[in-house]
Amino acid sequence: MKTKKTIITLMFAASVMALSLNACKKSSDSTSGTSDTSAISASASATASEMVFDDSFDVVTQSSEQSNLSVNSTGGTISTNSLTTQNASYTTTAGAIITVVPADPSVFPKTMTIDYGTGVTSPNGVLRKGQIIVNLTGEIRVAGSVISVTYNNYSVNGYQINGTYAMIPKLVAGVGVNYNITVSNGSITQPDGTTATYSGTETFTQVGGIGTSTITDDTYQVTGNFSYHNTSTGTITANITNPLVKSTDCEDITSGTIAFTDNKLKGTLDFGSGTCDNLATITFGVTTQTITLAR
């Protein structure tokens, strides 16, 4: 028969074991330095994917303007900068070859192929290779048009992407041209050879350059969410908590925040307060790191 002292001793040991197990569980769920670093790395890769896919927005809208496939928010035709749109193929000042079929700007649907060949570097230092193929049911700034973008051996600053980037413009009275953006079946191969999948749904809301006859002064606020997955880090989800500010005169996002969830860890990426640079800050737990953006 166990004595009272023995029973008390056993109860104490059980309590210590329970506390120990609970402490171990809490430690594995907490944001330890190693976990924070891994989450930061995954978030940086997810952000790179988002920015590289949204680079298509800049390329398509700018190429459409040069191809006379755009109208401004007041309905006027955007200047083609003296380019002859009846020509089916021509080279832009940036060095890409744009081919439009059919060439007649009034006939839709049509296909626009933007070919960067073995590599063209933009004035802002973005290196693009391969082709973007754009199918348009109507002009780029006409509500209800469907602009579907696919890729052929295409990369941006060493990030090769595949999938479908869809843009649907809508006109908002007194606001300008907004776009609903969807990335489906997205995949990305990063410069280090790592492969991942990507999907996202975003809204581009025009807040600058409204009513002007060019896109060069346009500014957009981006809201929405996206998801990134690779076999080594698993799935990371992202929600834009403060609109990302995207202007035509800067290759990078200038402000806004993204909330990330990596398994049970939560973090935030901050693009800053408006300076045009390629830096952002990611924080997970007690770990904060400045990252260089993909473009």
Give the residue from 103, 100, 98 showing the smallest Cα distance to 116.
98
Residue among 118, 126, 117 nearest 54 (CA): 126
Q: What pLDDT is stored for residue 181 in this prediction? A: 97
pLDDT of 105-136, one tens digit each?
Answer: 889 999 999 999 999 998 888 999 999 999 99
Which tens digits make up the pLDDT trace of 128-146? 999 999 999 998 888 889 9
Q: Is the pLDDT of residue 89 over 70?
A: no
pLDDT score at 92: 54
Distance CA 50, CA 280 (A): 14
pLDDT in tens, 8-35: 343 334 343 333 333 333 333 333 444 8
Per DSSP, 230 falls in state: E
Alpha-carbon distance 180 to 144, whole Å? 10
CA distances 252 to 82, 103, 126, 162, Å, are 29, 32, 11, 21
Computed from CA positions of residues 64, 69, 72, 77, in that sequence, does the dihedral angle turn out positive or negative?
A: positive
CB 83 within 8 A of CB 90: yes
Instruction: Give the DSSP letter of residue 81.
Output: T
Q: Which pLDDT score is estimated for 173?
A: 66
pLDDT for residue 209: 86
Residue 244's SS3 state is: strand
What digits encode the pLDDT tens for the residues 206-250?
998 887 777 778 899 999 999 999 988 889 999 999 999 998 888
Q: Compute how many other C-beta atoms are within 10 angstroms of the C-beta atom of residue 168.
A: 16
For residue 109, cis peptide bond before it (omega within 30 degrees of 0): yes
